[in-house]
Amino acid sequence: MKRARILTFHRVVNNGAVLQNAALLQHLQARFPSWDVKTLDYEPWNTTAAEILRAAKTHPQSPLFGIRRYRIFREAVNREIALDPALSKCARYETLVEQLRRQDYDLLITGSDCIWRVTDSFQFPPFPSIFWLSDTLPAKKLAYAVSANKYKPPLVRRHRDTIRRLANAFDCLTVRDADTEEMLRSCGVTRELHRMPDPAFLYTITPTRAAEKMKQVGIDLDRPVVGLLYYGAHPKVAEIVRLLRKQGYQVAALSMFSPYADVNLGDVLDPFEWAEAFKYLQICVTDRFHGTVFCLKNETPFLAIETSNLPKERCKKAQLLSAFGLDQLYFNLNDPQYDVSLFEARLKSTLEDWQGSHVAKVRDSLEQVENERAALAPHIEALMSDV
């Protein structure tokens, strides 16, 4: 039996990271039933350390929130993802390459998520990481919707030659966003690049215990619920929450802990329950890319907010909504023209227009996403047939 292995950030305590891996894994297993397809259970030591430190952080309202959330994610991945423990957790890049060589896999797949981000951030492995594989490995190599979003340009310039060599060694190279394509081209990568939608769009939302668990922690699903996806404290986000609560909404934080929420669900729902939970919301306010994706997949009204100074053209959410023709659902709270009255007006128009025009755009765009993926399927099928 031929063997394919996926390398990605499947152990990060992030719903989107887990779901994009689950979706790609399930898709490949269904499409190529004669192959043994699994995810390599590798997690960089510094990424693991960052997750443990985050889990240990206490919140006065819920001191064990991080620990419970970390445990829920570990258990969900162990239960739902087909894992291969072949790689050492704390090994150097050269050692990991040699371990892959000894396994003699037929196909190695890297992606999706920001696994190609070249940065000096502690939580990311230093470049080159095993997510770039190696031009010395005999296996066929597929980069599936990889992302380098928010890379550090000075570091990219320093490693330009190595980036070019490693990227050109891939047999099929697909990227998720314009940021990644721009970075690779700036390094002189000559391999043909294809734009591939995030594999989270492949995920099939299935019935879970999401509604049951939401009720258990005090959410009344007969009253309007707003989902909040925002980590940390921000006065303008607090202002938005006060407005929503005044309008009669229950405020449920869906992922990261929020001091503004009536109920925090991040230590209650696993990623697969989280994916379904959006269907029980009347509206969602999100600063997360995958939060935006699952609002779209659930056809849940939403507003996407940005609180950083990241230019709109480098913002994943903004790029996605522009592609869907829904630019009006995105705004930056740091914009000098922003105030809460703008949010209130946008909230009102979004709810009024959702069924009338927005849902049709969402459905048409989701169909286009599937068409884009399907158009690239022959490249991947040819690669796997050539093994």
Confidence class for position 113, pLDDT limits 50, 70, 90: confident
193 & 322 share domain: no
pLDDT band for position 316 (cuts 50, 70, 90): confident
201 pLDDT tier (thresholds 50, 70, 90): very high
Instruction: Check whether residue 185 and residue 214 sit in a common domain.
Output: no
Mark whether 173 and 245 lie in a shared domain.
Answer: no
Single out the residue in 153, 184, 202 at which a domain terminates.
202
Q: Kind of pairing, strands 83-84 and 107-110?
A: unpaired
- pLDDT the model gives residue 385: 84
Instruction: Name the residue range of residue 128's domain.
Output: 3-202
131 shares a domain with 84: yes
Q: Look at residue 314 and tell me whether its pLDDT is greater than 80.
A: no
374, part of any domain = no
- C-alpha pair distances (Å), 42 with each of 35, 83, 145, 149, 264: 21, 9, 19, 21, 30
Q: Are residues 159 and 279 in the same domain?
A: no
Q: Which of 202, 235, 251 is the last residue of a domain?
A: 202
Q: Position 367: which residue type?
A: E
CA distance 8 to 18: 9
Residues 176 and 97 in one domain: yes
Same domain, yes or no, for 64 and 198? yes
In a domain, 386, yes or no: no
Q: Residue 313 sits in a domain of what CATH number?
A: 3.40.50.2000
The CA distances from residue 253 to 55, 219, 289, in Å, are: 17, 11, 16
Q: What percent of the chain has pLDDT over 70?
A: 100
**Contact between 87 and 73 (Cβ < 8 Å):** no
Residue 92, domain member (yes or no): yes
**330-369 tens-digit pLDDT:** 989 999 999 999 999 999 999 999 998 999 999 999 999 9
Q: Count structural domains, the chain.
A: 2
Q: Is residue 375 part of a domain?
A: no
Residue pair 305/237 in contact (Cβ under 8 Å)? The answer is yes
Say if residue 271's pLDDT is above 90: yes
How far is residue 180's CA from residue 146's CA, in Å, rounded to a whole number? 8
Q: Are 350 and 254 in the same domain?
A: yes
My answer on whether 305 and 343 are in the same domain is: yes
